Structures are given as structure tokens and as C-alpha cells.
Amino acid sequence: MRGRYVDASSMYKRGASRDYINAYDEEGSSVHFLNGKDIGNPPWRRSLPHVLVATLSSFLAGYHLGVINETLEGISLDLGFSGNTLAEGLVVSTCLGGAFAGSLFSGWIVDGVGRRRAFQFCALPMIIGASMSATTKSLWGMLLGRLFVGTGMGLGPSVAALYVAEVSPAFVRGTFGSFPQIATCLGLMGALFIGLPAKEIVGWWRICFWVSAIPAALLAVSMEFCAESPHWLFKRGRGIEAEAEFEKILGGLHVKSAMAELSMSDRGDETDTIKFSELFYGRHFKVVFIGSTLFALQQLSGINAVFYFSSTVFKSFGIPSDIANISVGIANLLGSLIAMILMDKLGRKVLLLGSFSGMALSMGLQVIAANSFSSGSGALYLSVGGMLLSVLTFALGAGPVPGLLLSEIFPGQIRAKAMAVCMAVHWVMNFFVGLFFLRLLEQIGAVVLYTIFAAFCLLAVFFVKTNVLETKGKSLQEIEIALLPPE
């Protein structure tokens, strides 16, 4: 069934859509008209519950990244691989391999079954993997459980970025787009606090894994009551259902204008014919290149070296690991909250520029701290201060913006597959930075390594300044028309 808006899509040709776009004001806030009267922005409260449910997937990703921090010692003792650094490293990194695999297939899953079902596909391996990890008696059972969890982690963030962008009103899309990053921070901190008793209570680590099954089950069940993405429905030729979902998340007054916007770029009677290879040449290459490069630079900034090895740095100055993790978690959460407030006021591009510039400065502080002329309390303040500044400035832009920005700049026809490619780049770079950081630190020294990270941060500033389009307040269709060259 195609629905009346699918049949009416021919009324809104790309050439005529410029007149419709002029109905948006100078600041980029959506202005809709009904019988010549301004009806303002849609009520953001309608879409908020759907966004909050979607961010459970990001909370789970953060939780499973952090759950090993306090529990690894207990796991290695109980499962008989204590002192085996290779086995311990595999327990930490196996989920990253699973995340890479999950992200590769996320585009086909999201396009094939829709956003809501994709979230449920994300929750299922997390429930299975957490249960396997909680009940295992061997290292292999733990690794298999972590692999299952990783596939859900790889699928969840890309689906969350797509879903939040597609169900949020344009004027709060930046604010809502910050929620997944905040949820990830809360997941990391939740894993830390739940894991604190693990060193005193034998077998507590099993409770830590069981706990994660609760939000995963809540995600799977709650998605049954959430709206499907109208963009996906319209692209599948289900116009009447798309209209109903718009009414659910925007209100009845805004359905007509939302469907008119959607028909500017999407065609409800077309099937998804974009092949994977077509993302790397022709008219789609530029946006995919921007997205992949942003995620690569995000990881090459050295942020995950800070996240993974901050405890080691703090410990070298006699600071307990739990205090180190709490400090990093608070800095991350604080930056994410500030980003949420500023995202729709300053815009995505400004936050990215400020974030990468701040990270370059923080890496400079690390270089000074690592030099021989800096010692004692001076080195402590510079190193720890630089590390916390790096986390704070990362959370202000480089953390939350790329996922949101890419879900905005990718055309609807390639959005899911292009996000899959970029998230795969993210997980690969994440894995290699974590794998080689300590070895490079040993081989070339802290001064050279942190200088390299600072150089990548400055390169990111130049790249953002020359390639990134500001998307604040613009509809997804307006962004697509501005970025995508004509066929």
C-alpha cells in the first residue's frame, strides 16, 4: 500500500523544493504553515520517550566497554587465567571484534527490517552474551559471551544515531542527538560503580554481567511501543504508515508539512537499489569520505588511549584506580551535558572545531609533562590535568557530534549502509589504537606519541573547517539537497 503521500510525491519535485525551503527562517528553525498561519515547531515532548528508549542501546555499549575494568582480576582468578596477559587482553578486546562485525552488517539489517526491529536485534545478542559471560566456567565461554555482546554493540550505536535523527524535530535534533553520548557515559559510570565490590566479594563479577541483561530486555520490550522511523516507512512505499508515525512523534498539525518535506528527496515507490560499492565513487563518495575521515580522526586523536590507560597513568602518581575512573567518568559526563546544551545553539561545526582544538592543547600538556624538565608535582598536575581536559573537550564535540552529523548528512537512500561503513572504520581504529598504544609508548616515547596525537587533532581542525557543513536547525531533506550533487 503506497498511501496518498506516496502518490502525491510528484508534487514536490527537487527543482520546486527550493521555494519550500525558503519557508525556513534565517536561523534554521523549522517554520510550518497551515492555511497561511504559522504553527511553529512540533512539540519535542512527543518524540522524547522514543529517543530515550533508543539511547538504552548506547547505555549498554558504554556498560559493556566498562564492565571489565573492575572485574577483570576476579574473572581471571575464577576462570584460571590469572597472570596470562594475552588472555586478559582477549577478554577486553573480543567485544571490539564483535562490534566491528556487527557494524559491518548493521546497514543491511536496519534497511531490511527497520529501525525498531534492528534495536531488538541489538538487544538479543547482548542478553545472550551477558548470560553466557555470567554463567561460564571457562575462558572460552567468556570470550564467546563477549563476542556476542560485541555484535550488539556494533549494531546499537549506528541504529541509535539514525533513529534519533529521523524521529527528532529539527530544532532539537542536536540536543536529542547528544543523548546517546550521555547514555554511553552513564553506562561506563554505572559499570564502574556496580563493579566496585568485585575485589572484595568472590563471584561478584557474575552479578555485573547479569545486571546488564535488564536494560537489554527493557530495550527489546519497549521498542514494541515506540514509533518506527517515518523515513524508513516512506522509503519502503508505506506512506500511510509513515503519516501515522509522524502524527505520533510530531502531532497532527505537522504531519502534512513533514510528509511534504520527506517527498522532496525520498521516493516512496522506489526500492533500495544502492550497492555497497556505490558508496565509494560517484555522487555519494564525498559524504562517505567525510564521515569515514571524521571517525578515523576521532580515534587518532588518542582519546581511547586516555580512556583505556588513564588508570595506569594515575597509578604511577599513587592515585587509586577507582578515583581515576570516577574522575574520567565525571569529566566525560560533564562535557556531554554541556554539548547537549550547546548543540542546537552553537551548532555541530563550532563544537567540533572547539573540541579538536582543546584536545590538541591537552596533548600539548601531556608532552610538557613527559619532558625531562617537568618532574614531581608539576608533572602530576600537567599529566592528570591534560588527561581530564582531553576527556572533557572530547565529550564537548568529537564524541557526540560525528554520529549525529553523519546521520544528518547522509541521504536517506544510503543512510544506513553509509553509517555501517563509518562505524566499521570507528571500531577498526579503536581496536588498533588500543592494541598499539603501549607498544608505541615503549618504542618511541611519550613525547613523540603525544605529539603525533596532537598533530592529528590539528589535522582534524583543518578537515572540519574545510569539509563539514553546518546542519543546525535544518531538516534532513534540506541538508540532502544542499550536499548531494544532481544526477
Tell me how crowded residue 135 is: count the other CB atoms within 10 A of its CB: 12
Residues in a beta bridge with 38: 33
pLDDT band for 59, please (50, 70, 90 cuts).
very high
Do the two domains 43-226 and 274-486 of this chain adopt the same fold? Answer: yes
Architecture, CATH, for domain 274-486? Up-down Bundle (1.20)
Exposure of 29 by Cβ count < 10 A (0-12 exposed, 13-18 middle, 19+ buried)? Answer: middle
What is the reported pLDDT for 39?
61
Q: Per the structure block, which three cell numbers stand in for 478?
A: 534540506
pLDDT digits (tens, 9 = 90+) for 113-154: 999 999 999 999 999 999 999 999 999 999 999 999 999 998
Q: Which residue has the cell 557494524?
A: 103
Q: Is the pLDDT assigned to residue 208 strictly greater than 90?
A: yes
Q: What angle do CA 275, 279, 282 make, to 5 degrees?
A: 105
- Global pTM value: 0.79
Tell me how crowded residue 168 is: count the other CB atoms within 10 A of its CB: 25
pLDDT digits (tens, 9 = 90+) for 447-487: 888 899 999 999 999 999 998 888 887 777 777 776 665 55
What is the reported pLDDT for 13?
35
* CATH superfamily to which 43-226 belongs: MFS general substrate transporter like domains (1.20.1250.20)
CA quadruple 181, 164, 423, 408: dihedral, nearest 10: -110
Where residue 70 falls (left for φ over 0; alpha for ψ -120 to 50; beta otherwise) is alpha
Measured between alpha carbons, how far is 264 from 191 in angstroms, rounded to an integer?
44
pLDDT digits (tens, 9 = 90+) for 170-185: 888 888 888 998 999 8
Minimum mean pLDDT range among 237-241, 396-400, 443-447: 443-447
Query: For residues 413 and 48, which has the higher predicted lDDT (pLDDT)?
Result: 48
What are the extents of the domains in the chain? 43-226, 234-265, 274-486
Q: What is the DSSP track for 213-273?
A: HHHHHHHHHHGGGSPPPHHHHHHTT-HHHHHHHHHHHH-GGGHHHHHHHHHHH--TT----
**Residue 240 near residue 3, CB atoms below 8 Å:** yes
